C-alpha cells in the first residue's frame, strides 16, 4: 500500500512539472548552448563606411615567366559588331590572369599580306617579336590581334599615295568593329584604361595612325610602322607619345606618309616622338622593331595623363 502511494505521488509530481514547463514563456526555457546565435549587423550610419568605388587596382607583377608563348597559345575568337561585321581575332591573356590586377592592353594591326579568314595567320608576322625573350612586358598584358578580311583594309585608302584625308575617308567597317571589340574587352577583363597601346605595320601602320586620330583620348602611346595618316589632324595627336619607324628606301609605302605626319605633329608642339630610319630590312621594319627590348620598355612605360 505504501509503495502504491509513493508511485502515485511521483506521477503527480511529474504531471505538475510538465504542466509548469508547458505554460512557461519561451524566454524562460533552457537554451541549447551549442546553437550558433547570429547577431544582426549594426547598419547605423555612424558605423557604416561606404565602399571605395574609386579604388585603383595595381599593375600586375612583372616577369617570372617560365616558357615562351607560341601561336597555339593564343585564343582564336570572333566578335560581331553592331554593323554586322564578324571580326576574327586572336587574344593573349596572361597565364596567371587575376581580377586583382589592372592589365595593360596591346592592340596590333597586321599588314596586307595576312588578310583573309584564317584566324591565326596574323600571328605569323611580327607578333612573336613581342614575346622574345620570354620576359618582355607583353607577357604581363592582354594583347589583341584582329584579322582584316581579304576584301577590306583597316583604312580604305591608296597606300601608294602616302597621306590621306579623314574628312574624305570614312572609318572602315573593320575599324568600327575593332573599336567595339576594345570596348568589349575592357568590360570583360580587368584592364587599365590608362595603359592601352596600339601598333601596326604597313596596312596596319595606316590603321594605327587612323585609330589614334579618330580616338585621340584612348591610347597612352602608339607605334605606327611604315604607314601614313592625315597631317591636317596632327593637332589631335600632338600629345600622344609616338615611336615611328619608316625606311627612306621603302618600296611598298612611301616614306612621305610618315614624314608628313612627323612634320605636322612638330608644328603643333609635339615633342614626345621617336623616329627610326635606316634600320635596314627595307619595308619589313616590324621584325627588328618588335624584337627590340628598348622599344618594349618605351611602349609599356607610358601611362595616359602622366
Please check whether residue 57 lies inside any domain of the structure: no
Please check whether residue 6 lies inside any domain of the structure: no
Our CA dihedral for 151, 157, 159, 160, rounded to 10 degrees, sits at 120
What's the CATH code of the domain at 161?
Answer: 3.40.50.1820
User: pLDDT 10s per residue in the chain (306 long)?
Assistant: 444 445 444 444 444 344 433 444 433 333 344 333 334 334 333 333 333 334 589 999 888 777 778 778 899 999 999 999 999 999 999 988 999 999 999 999 999 999 999 999 999 988 888 888 778 899 999 999 999 999 999 999 998 889 999 999 999 999 999 999 999 999 999 999 999 999 999 999 999 999 999 999 999 999 999 999 999 999 999 999 999 999 999 999 999 999 999 999 999 999 999 999 988 889 999 999 999 999 999 999 999 988
pLDDT, position 64: 74
Please check whether residue 59 lies inside any domain of the structure: no
Whether the link from the prior residue into 196 is cis, omega within 30° of 0, is no
pLDDT, position 55: 53
Please check whether residue 142 lies inside any domain of the structure: yes
Please check whether residue 280 lies inside any domain of the structure: yes
Structural domain range at position 102: 71-300
C-alpha dihedral sign at 227, 182, 99, 121: negative
pLDDT, position 18: 42
Per the structure, how many domains does the chain have? 1
Please check whether residue 45 lies inside any domain of the structure: no
pLDDT, position 217: 97
Give the separation between CA 70 and CA 67, rounded to whole angstroms.
Answer: 10
Query: In sequence order, which residues have a C-beta less than 8 Å from that of residue 210 and are 6 or more positions away?
Result: 154, 155, 166, 171, 175, 229
Closest by Cα among 172, 227, 234 to 205:
227
For residue 137, count other CB atoms closer than 10 A to its CB.
18
Give one DSSP letter per residue of 80-133, joined into a string. E-TTS-EEEEEEE--TT--TTS-EEEEEEE--GGG-SS-TTGGGGTTGGGGGSS
Please check whether residue 41 lies inside any domain of the structure: no
pLDDT, position 70: 78
For residue 32, count other CB atoms closer than 10 A to its CB.
6
Please check whether residue 2 lies inside any domain of the structure: no
For cell 574587352, the residue is: 185
Amino acid at each position: 500500500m505504501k509503495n502504491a502511494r509513493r508511485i502515485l505521488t511521483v506521477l503527480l509530481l511529474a504531471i505538475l512539472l510538465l504542466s509548469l514547463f508547458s505554460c512557461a514563456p519561451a524566454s524562460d526555457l533552457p537554451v541549447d548552448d551549442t546553437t550558433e546565435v547570429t547577431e544582426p549587423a549594426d547598419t547605423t550610419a555612424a558605423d557604416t563606411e561606404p565602399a571605395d568605388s574609386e579604388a585603383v587596382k595595381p599593375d600586375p607583377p612583372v616577369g617570372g615567366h617560365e616558357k615562351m608563348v607560341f601561336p597555339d597559345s593564343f585564343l582564336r575568337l570572333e566578335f560581331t559588331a553592331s554593323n554586322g561585321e564578324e571580326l576574327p581575332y586572336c587574344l593573349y591573356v596572361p597565364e596567371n590572369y587575376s581580377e586583382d590586377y589592372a592589365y595593360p592592353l596591346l592592340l596590333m594591326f597586321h599588314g596586307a599580306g595576312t588578310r583573309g579568314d584564317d584566324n591565326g595567320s596574323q600571328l605569323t608576322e611580327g607578333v612573336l617579336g613581342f614575346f622574345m625573350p620570354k620576359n618582355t612586358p607583353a607577357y604581363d598584358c592582354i594583347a589583341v590581334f584582329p584579322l582584316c578580311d581579304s576584301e577590306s583594309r583597316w583604312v580604305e585608302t591608296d597606300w601608294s599615295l602616302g597621306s590621306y584625308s579623314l574628312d574624305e575617308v570614312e572609318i572602315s567597317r573593320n575599324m568600327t568593329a575593332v573599336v567595339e571589340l576594345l570596348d568589349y574587352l575592357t568590360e570583360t577583363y580587368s584592364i587599365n584604361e590608362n595603359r592601352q597601346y596600339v601598333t601596326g605595320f604597313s596596312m596596319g601602320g595606316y590603321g594605327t595612325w587612323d585609330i589614334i586620330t579618330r580616338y585621340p583620348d584612348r591610347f597612352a602611346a602608339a607605334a605606327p610602322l611604315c604607314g601614313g595618316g592625315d597631317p591636317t589632324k596632327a593637332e589631335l595627336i600632338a600629345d600622344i607619345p609616338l615611336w615611328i619607324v619608316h625606311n627612306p628606301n621603302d618600296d611598298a609605302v612611301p616614306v612621305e606618309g610618315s614624314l608628313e605626319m612627323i612634320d605636322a605633329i612638330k608644328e603643333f608642339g609635339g615633342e614626345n616622338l621617336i623616329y627610326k630610319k635606316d634600320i635596314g630590312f627595307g619595308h619589313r621594319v616590324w621584325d627588328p622593331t618588335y624584337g627590340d627590348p628598348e622599344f618594349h620598355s618605351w611602349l609599356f612605360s607610358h601611362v595616359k595623363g602622366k
